[in-house]
Amino acid sequence: TIIPTIQEGIAKVQIVLIERWYTWPVPIFEIAETNFNTWWLSKDFSRLNYGLFIDRENFRGRKEALRLKFQTGYTSQYAIQYHIPYLNKKQNLGLEATISYYKNREIVYGTLDNKRLFYNSYDSPARNEFSSRLVFSYRHGFYNSSFLSLKFQSASINDTLAMLSEDYFPNNEASTQFFSLSYRFQRDRRDVKAYPLKGYFFDAEILKLGLGMLNNEPDVLFLKGSASKFWKLRDKWFLATGIKGKYGFTTYQPYYVQRGLGYFNENVRGFEYYVIDGQSWGLGRASLKYELLKPEVYISNSFRNNKFNTMHYAFYLNILADAGYVDDKLYNKLNPLANQLLYSTGIGLDFVSFYDMVLRFEYSVNKLGEKGFFINFTAPL
């Protein structure tokens, strides 16, 4: 909060900062679906994850972060992550290490008519997974960063699922284990990461799954990237545009490692109820925003602690337009939305709040003429 005062012809500016807590026990309550809207159709409470994060920020007083995760429900997961932002005196080299174990009784093994096919194992887990990852980060100045990641994955499915989906893992096997290596470059000039209004963002990544070191590895190379630009057009008017995509250099991709559009925030708005599998895809989005309520600060008298009694919020009305394309050479005979241009348009209302919270309400019409009201919890770009 900035408090300007003028006394006896002298201007003074007082800047009041509220420091966040360092230790956070954060409850987990999330939907195990591609997005909230697909879950809302069935309201199936068995497809919920719940548990607890224990976050320790500024660990050892060096901005290091320790995170523990204990999750049960649809996906059981246990994980530990340690982040060291600075390994050297220049403070431009960092390291993050993560170890995770997952198990599922129900998983998706394919799609039909762009709807997911589920397999449920009542006696034992349908899939077990273990992964460990090291990520080295390097900052090139203030706005540019590079990330080099080495990951090991091991996964297995039961015999029934292996018969249902012969291409789930390489060579029709019931298990796989492999290393992957990726490099990602990022340039970030956005004013606010959670909900930018000005600036631009760019990133590009090359990812190799399977390094030829283990048996039954996938052999897949991906190139991924995104670019977005944000303008303030005039008072209260803003424009956001962005493109992102993934190109697979190999046609054959085991179902375990391939993913098209329709997952989380990588979808054509208006097609939230569909999944379009494929080996390569592209997506473009645009939003024209009008500031209904400029960022305000609300102070509640219900909490004495100033870490909780202050709330920042704003509202934006927007007009949206999306277009996307999925290139699929493996499953397109069963999924008609692949290999054609998809598009949609609509209107929306965005609520932006303290602690990087975004809530979007959108009404859109897609290429098929289908209309719908959708809710999302991240910025579209």
pLDDT given for residue 60 in this prediction: 78
Amino acid at 98: T
Please say whether the beta carbons of 140 and 228 come within 8 A. Answer: no
Domain harbouring 170, CATH code: 2.40.160.50
What total number of domains does the chain contain?
1
Q: Rounded CA gap, 178 and 162, in Å?
A: 18
pLDDT at 61 over 80: no
Give Cα separations from 313 to 24, 190, 195, 291, 380 (angstroms): 22, 19, 12, 12, 18
Residue 188 lies in a domain: yes
Residue 42 lies in a domain: no
| Tokens coding 9 | 């012809």
pLDDT given for residue 190 in this prediction: 96
Domain that residue 225 falls in: 86-376
pLDDT tens string 129-166: 999 999 999 999 899 999 999 999 999 999 999 888 88
Higher per-residue confidence, 311 vs 238: 238
pLDDT tens string 169-193: 999 899 999 999 999 999 999 998 9
How many C-beta atoms surround the C-beta of residue 218 within 10 A?
21
Q: Name the phi and psi angles at 140, rounded to 5.
A: -95, 90
Q: Rounded CA gap, 6 and 99, in Å?
A: 55
pLDDT at 340 over 60: yes
pLDDT tens string 81-117: 999 999 998 999 999 999 999 999 999 999 999 999 9
pLDDT given for residue 332 in this prediction: 82
Residues 39, 44, 49: CA angle, nearest 5 degrees? 80
Amino acid at 150: L
Residue 78 lies in a domain: no
Alpha helices in the chain (DSSP H): 36-42, 159-164
CA torsion, ordered 353, 358, 361, 367, to nearest 10 deg: 150
pLDDT given for residue 57 in this prediction: 85
The percentage of the chain sitting over the pLDDT mark of 70, rounded to a whole number, equals 91
pLDDT at 247 over 80: yes
How many C-beta atoms surround the C-beta of residue 376 within 10 A?
21
Residue 168 lies in a domain: yes
pLDDT at 21 over 70: no
Residue 36 lies in a domain: no
Q: What is the pTM assigned to this prediction? A: 0.87
Residue 16 lies in a domain: no
pLDDT given for residue 20 in this prediction: 59
Alpha helices in 241-345 (DSSP H): none
Residue 77 lies in a domain: no
pLDDT at 50 over 90: yes
